Structure 1
């Protein structure tokens, strides 16, 4: 009798033996042969259980030579789950702060899109659903960046997002939807709390022969902490899958969301200190708001597995996201019509190259405006019809990438990659409410190819602990809307060009004993960084003038540290855990002729989050948490700063071991502190107390209950 087992490679994303074959051969002696006539031993196959998708995704992220993390939505939902601020908590390197309680969260990774105001399309990060692009040539509309229907979220910082065709400074965030395979059964969830917060959600999923389905609907409303920040939204998330045979499967994802919210008004430091729930008079007078009548994102992904386990994955997305800004304002509203088509193709295979394990990938992705533009009223909206202001049709980003991960030894792996991106921006301004004083034509067109290489090393000093280092180049094209400015006029001194950054990164990550964490150091040298600034504030009769321009060379560098420590574990299964995240943001000019080596506004230099939580074996949990941020520059001249702050919170709840019930109570800002959660950068405040601070919520209590059946 002999035993044959399959070989385990570290490259395997499952870190597990897929099967073990026990082959029994006939015995050779005559007596044994006679015995075999009566007893026949067959082949026994023992197959391991398939890993949960989140565990497999984490193992795959571990194989990236750089900063990555995975956020379990089940952990997020142990407290309030309202915006990306809740989802991205305790993630090093990520700055995610809600402004006014709506989905227009200010979110940045490594200073990406550093000065993009809250409520604008997100820039500097590529967002995806289930590996299919949400972000397009116009940036990322934020109404679909809600937390509904998520299983887990992948965060790949900087060039570590190479796999997803992301070339941005910030990298990529990939939201993975629940399916009938991962979330069978039905679920009802109800949340409520301070500032009129209400959320109702229902989901159901299951498997029918070779098909599976998951559908979730939700409705939310919030009166708001600050005056004039009312928000309401409702949406549908669905995921349908079908397996034709063991080699071919396909999925259809549909997301639809309607949203209306009033836009938060920035305060002066004096106003913030006196009463952070107030808003400024101009915001009340202009009644600026945002209405999304119905954003639709439909994605399809089909995967074919070849006989040699190579895979081919094809994706197609249709994205329609119309919106109206200042719908109820005495200032003329603007009507935005956006339609994108996104597609992707990826081939990956595992080989042996000169006896070394090798994983190679070839990818192609595209995001393109097929119909996009903005309209407004020429003159008084009560007297004239809608006037087309700008068109963006034909703008696109095409990315072709080649990558390889080579196992030089059992412990050392070398990754290489090269991306080529074709960037086209086609902006035609046909009408402006302000004169074009730039001296440039109203038709802007940019069409060029750029290259972005990447190399990386990872070395395992223990089975689950690795040292890593990488060097990369990133390319951030300007969004189409930023080229024409918020007032839909050519507000730039020279045509915008993509920003480019060269980045080095090194660190350590992994799990060992009671510790699970990562530590990364990075530095980026950036040319033509795209910086946005409010040149003229809004008035009772005109909108603010916010423009984007390429800057002189800048440097982004920092530290990203995350650590979860199991401080104590009882014999009965009780445990005490402390999780922490620290981010050092050092973003500054290299040697600007006006601002020298000033820091870039909009981010605190130091940001710390921590939570100490006790988990009982019977399902109860309770903990205390803290977020602390240093002061934040509010202008490029560094003449005015938002104050530092420390905010305490606590949460407790119950997860039924039978998974039938979940309950939680989440307390925010226990000391009811007045603080600025985000800053609207200005050019030069000249030391005056300008209205540039968005207030964070005061003390709030939120509760939720979930019933699974």
Structure 2
């Protein structure tokens, strides 16, 4: 019996685990009437869920209240903790190693395999790489998670799909907000925000600042994040929104250590990191705009773009100094009308991204910049065209077909050693087929078959230490089958999906040309990524102790089976970097007075491997926590707290993967110990 089949057979047992029920879960798209305060360039969380659930695939909406109601929520792991299929492993500070459905497992730094957007405009760079330190959970209205090929509508071609962080607007967050938080290891965060909507004008601005000493030594950080947007409604059909954001981030890096050190001395950093003052410091400025045109009640267009400038100062074993400029342009549209008397919904668009990087490296002499060792001018260009059509052959059944085509260009001109220069082109055509069945007005079932193509990033093509110059890698290709259901019945709400992806030329770290080195290379043959994703919500009882109270629970389970398939070297080994099972559950009691308390648990019953050879793995663990809050003045003043890892359990949260590890390989990141955070928010 296959591992996936075993997991599917185990799913009914998990379905018995109750979970915290959402207030409402829509299915059929409602008729939207634009009112005085509604906008064309923003939408409500419910409207976003309806839009995403009109696609036959696993898409989720995480509302801001899920992560803003507690203190110390700073990273993507905190934001998406109850979103199954998303593995966000904390590393240090606010950084996390992100993978969706096994995407980017071989990326030991930064990000690949998941397209990240803010307000529908890319945050990831033109080559597909990026950083998650730029996100600010306090500034968002919601987060949209489109797993795998379900990110078709954004033009994403990645295996992992896309995450879209949607900033508050003057409509979603009117008035002022002042917030202060403090907690363990010198953590402090503050926010000041204000939103306003008057007539055709609307604006929102947020500024937050964070500082912390960090759980591990040499992991202190400071950050200032500014987000603002303003919109003008030209008439009933046209609206334009302008977006401005900037980030100033200083972050020390404690580094990966051996398994023994991570479990026995979790606060201890890697010696080289502390000795050479490893850091990752980022300064970004982002300008963007989007114009929405409601040409007719059925036909809609969006046009926009952005320019992002990033400066990276990154002392590691060398000092890396990068300056990047990214241009993003997009045009997309949708039509929801009739085709020969049948309801027909079409979406289409084109995206273009171009980024240039001045890439310099210097000797790191105990934290002091020495002589230049490398300099290159790197260029990435990616263009994607897409279209998807849903034809309702019956009022409850839609047949979906889509196509995505694109091309990418990457180049690196080495200034000091022209022989290491190189360039390459990649092209792709990705079809998509699916079916969406509305079983009842509140329950959906779906299935799809989607192809994806992921061209290499510049980091894949250019080794940090030049060992042969520009690599000519193939694009990573996959086709994924997926079935699932979502909806609400009585007190139970759920999202369940099962998938299997067949990959060719997966980009993985393999043995380099010198002993102990590893380089991004294409795996020979196929690899398999398959799994089950379950989110359940259940309202256990109302009026349990007093009138108006509620006892509820929520749970998220992710089963991941990522493996080689008849590989000449690694046979059918598991791919390293992600655990097979992750289960999180919370039991919540909310009093009629608005006070609430929620104990929670996280279980990883089996450690994950850190190398392709499956010789070294992390440890299993169970973490307990409790969080709660109360409205001191209803609608105005709220206090909240979050206590984590109450047992002070020592565990490994993340690992850098290797082709073959040994017992003392320094690849592990120690998980955070016991910590407590508290905060106060005032609305006015």
Is 1:486 the counterpart of 2:464 in the alignment?
yes
- Look up the SS of the partner of 2:280 in the other structure: strand
Match of 2:415 in 1: 430
Match of 2:149 in 1: 159
- Given the alignment, which residue of 200, 211, 217 partners 1:227? 217
Asked if the contact 2:88/2:98 (under 8 Å) is kept, the reply is: yes
Is 1:581 the counterpart of 2:531 in the alignment?
no
Q: Quote how far apart the aligned CAs of 1:431 are.
A: 3.7
Match of 2:500 in 1: 523
Q: Quote how far apart the aligned CAs of 1:669 are.
A: 0.2
Q: Distance in 1 between matches of 2:38 and 2:360?
A: 56
Q: Distance in 1 between matches of 2:466 and 2:138?
A: 33
Q: Quote how far apart the aligned CAs of 1:286 are.
A: 2.5
- Given the alignment, which residue of 647, 652, 665 partners 1:690? 665
Match of 1:241 in 2: 231
Is 1:310 the counterpart of 2:296 in the alignment?
no
Match of 2:426 in 1: 448
- Look up the SS of the partner of 1:633 in the other structure: coil
Q: Quote how far apart the aligned CAs of 1:384 are.
A: 7.0
**TM-score w.r.t. structure 1 length?**
0.87
Q: Quote how far apart the aligned CAs of 1:143 are.
A: 2.9
- Shift in alpha-carbon separation, 1:533–1:116, aligned structure 2, 3 A: farther
Q: Distance in 1 between matches of 2:425 and 2:596?
A: 55
- Given the alignment, which residue of 186, 196, 201 partners 2:186? 196
Asked if the contact 2:352/2:382 (under 8 Å) is kept, the reply is: yes
Q: Distance in 2 between matches of 1:11 and 1:265?
A: 46
Match of 1:82 in 2: 74
Is 1:600 the counterpart of 2:592 in the alignment?
no
Q: Quote how far apart the aligned CAs of 1:145 are.
A: 2.4
Q: How does 1:39-118 map to 2 (within 5 A)?
A: 53-79=44-70, 80-102=72-94, 104-117=95-108
- Shift in alpha-carbon separation, 1:98–1:575, aligned structure 2, 3 A: same
- Given the alignment, which residue of 585, 590, 595 partners 1:610? 585
Asked if the contact 2:256/2:667 (under 8 Å) is kept, the reply is: yes
Asked if the contact 2:590/2:597 (under 8 Å) is kept, the reply is: yes
- Look up the SS of the partner of 2:65 in the other structure: helix
Q: Quote how far apart the aligned CAs of 1:534 are.
A: 8.8
Q: Distance in 2 between matches of 1:379 and 1:667?
A: 39
Structure with max Cα Rg: 1
Match of 2:487 in 1: 510
Q: Quote how far apart the aligned CAs of 1:314 are.
A: 0.3
- Look up the SS of the partner of 1:181 in the other structure: coil
Match of 1:626 in 2: 601
- Shift in alpha-carbon separation, 1:682–1:463, aligned structure 2, 3 A: same
5+ residue gaps in structure 2?
A: 1-25
- Shift in alpha-carbon separation, 1:306–1:112, aligned structure 2, 3 A: same
- Look up the SS of the partner of 1:601 in the other structure: coil
Q: Distance in 2 between matches of 1:11 and 1:346?
A: 24
- Look up the SS of the partner of 2:157 in the other structure: coil
Q: Quote how far apart the aligned CAs of 1:536 are.
A: 11
Match of 1:182 in 2: 172
- Given the alignment, which residue of 119, 124, 134 partners 1:144? 134
Deviation per residue, 1:583-624 (Å, 9 max, x gap): 011001011111101001111111111111111121100011
Q: Following superposition, which runs of at least 4 residues in structure 1 exceed 4 angstroms of deviation?
A: 16-19, 46-52, 378-388, 533-538
- Residues 232-241 or 563-572, more deviating: 563-572
Match of 2:399 in 1: 414
- Given the alignment, which residue of 624, 629, 640 partners 2:616? 640
- Shift in alpha-carbon separation, 1:645–1:355, aligned structure 2, 3 A: same
Is 1:211 the counterpart of 2:201 in the alignment?
yes
Match of 2:17 in 1: none
Deviation per residue, 1:244-287 (Å, 9 max, x gap): 11011000111100101111222222212322111222222232
Q: Distance in 2 between matches of 1:311 and 1:298?
A: 24
Q: Distance in 2 between matches of 1:47 and 1:317?
A: 28
Q: Quote how far apart the aligned CAs of 1:387 are.
A: 6.1
Q: Distance in 2 between matches of 1:227 and 1:397?
A: 40
- Residues 655-664 or 210-219, more deviating: 655-664
- Shift in alpha-carbon separation, 1:280–1:233, aligned structure 2, 3 A: same
What is the aligned length?
650
- Given the alignment, which residue of 223, 244, 249 partners 1:259? 249
- Shift in alpha-carbon separation, 1:400–1:700, aligned structure 2, 3 A: same
5+ residue gaps in structure 1?
A: 1-9, 20-45, 539-543
Asked if the contact 1:257/1:295 (under 8 Å) is kept, the reply is: yes
Q: Quote how far apart the aligned CAs of 1:339 are.
A: 0.7
Match of 1:322 in 2: 311
Q: Quote how far apart the aligned CAs of 1:308 are.
A: 4.4
- Look up the SS of the partner of 2:234 in the other structure: strand
Match of 1:500 in 2: 477
Q: Distance in 1 between matches of 2:467 and 2:377?
A: 12
- Look up the SS of the partner of 2:650 in the other structure: coil
Q: Distance in 1 between matches of 2:386 and 2:350?
A: 6
Deviation per residue, 1:37-79 (Å, 9 max, x gap): xxxxxxxxx9999996111101112211111111111121122
Match of 1:402 in 2: 387
Q: Quote how far apart the aligned CAs of 1:535 are.
A: 6.3
Match of 1:365 in 2: 351
Q: Quote how far apart the aligned CAs of 1:181 are.
A: 1.0
Q: Quote how far apart the aligned CAs of 1:481 are.
A: 2.4
Q: Distance in 1 between matches of 2:36 and 2:76?
A: 39
Q: Distance in 2 between matches of 1:232 and 1:18?
A: 44
Is 1:547 the counterpart of 2:519 in the alignment?
yes
